[in-house]
Amino acid sequence: MTLLLSEADVQSLLTMPLAIEAVEDAFRRLADGSAQFHPRQRLHLPGNSYLHYMAAADGTGGYMGMKIYTSSREGLRFLVPLFQAKTGELLALIEASYLGQMRTGAASGVATKLLARRDARTVGVVGTGFQAAAQIEAVAAVRKIERVRTFGRDPERRQSFASEMSAKLGVPVEAAASAEEAVNDADIVITSTTASKPVVEGRWLRAGMHINAIGANFPEKAELDADAVNRADVICADSREQSKLEAGDLIQAFEGDYSRWNDVKELSDLVAGRVEGRTSPGQITLFKSNGIAIEDIVTAGRVYELALQRRVGSNVRLWKPDSAS
């Protein structure tokens, strides 16, 4: 039998602390070689929606699977088929919009824990959409945040978003009048947009900032201008390999100088303590998040285990026993 978990099921099980723990474990397993993943691939027929797919295997947890999703003008639809690594049994089909939102926030939470100044207290957010809420929640889980400023293009939306997040986190969240105002004086900067052109400029940055850039995952898109990337003393990515394919912020800033990729650290190495992150309070640090499949599979494994414990979800039979065998 295969367990079917709906969005509502996942929301009832997955918390941000659990997601951060799972994602940190995912990167630790990448570091020790017990996990592996394939970068995202895409299919696109002109005039039609995209099909995106990415796969991973978690040897420690005993799971393998993929996240597959479509994107179109009608929205996005996410699914994680989760298999048992040893037998190949399809354990679960998990609706994965909320799961993806939480694991993306959690990755920024892990990066912030390792790269932001310990005394970081203020956050500036550019973006008020689906992913921005989890980004703020994750940062607030790893640092004692005292104030958040957020900017989005729609004045009504940014005000309602600020009110919602203030109530959810118990932290003052203010609507900023511009992206620059949101970033100004922030200790931690988050970009969470669908923008094609930069929304944060290097001249706005100041010493000691940490940046989580999560929105641009096509080579032609960038949320940070080249100056912002070039001002970063430490650049870290969830995957250097995947960044070379789709991290437009870095691709455009490096301008074909392939040697600059050698300086991009991987989050798995930071988690494992193999490389240093921030080494002084005045450094500007940058985490470029693409979203990689091992985050989804390890997190999905935790959700599946909780669902079994709490008897959440519906069992479905997808394949009948072979009557001839």
Active-site residues, by number, are 67
Q: Is residue 110 classed exposed, middle or buried when 0-12, 13-18 and 19+ CB atoms within 10 A define those classes? A: buried
- Reduce the DSSP state of residue 64 to 3 states and report it: strand
**CB–CB of 190/161 below 8 Å?**
no
**CB–CB of 215/223 below 8 Å?**
yes
State the Cα–Cα distance between residues 108 and 137, nearest whole angstrom: 10
Locus of tokens 């870290």: 236
Tally of CB atoms within 10 A around 30? 26
State the Cα–Cα distance between residues 267 and 239, nearest whole angstrom: 7
Between CA 26 and CA 21, with CA 265 as vertex, the angle to 5 degrees is 25
Beta strands in the chain (DSSP E): 2-5, 35-44, 50-58, 63-72, 75-84, 90-95, 122-126, 147-151, 173-175, 188-191, 210-213, 234-237, 264-266, 285-288, 314-316
Locus of tokens 């420690």: 60
State the Cα–Cα distance between residues 56 and 64, nearest whole angstrom: 6
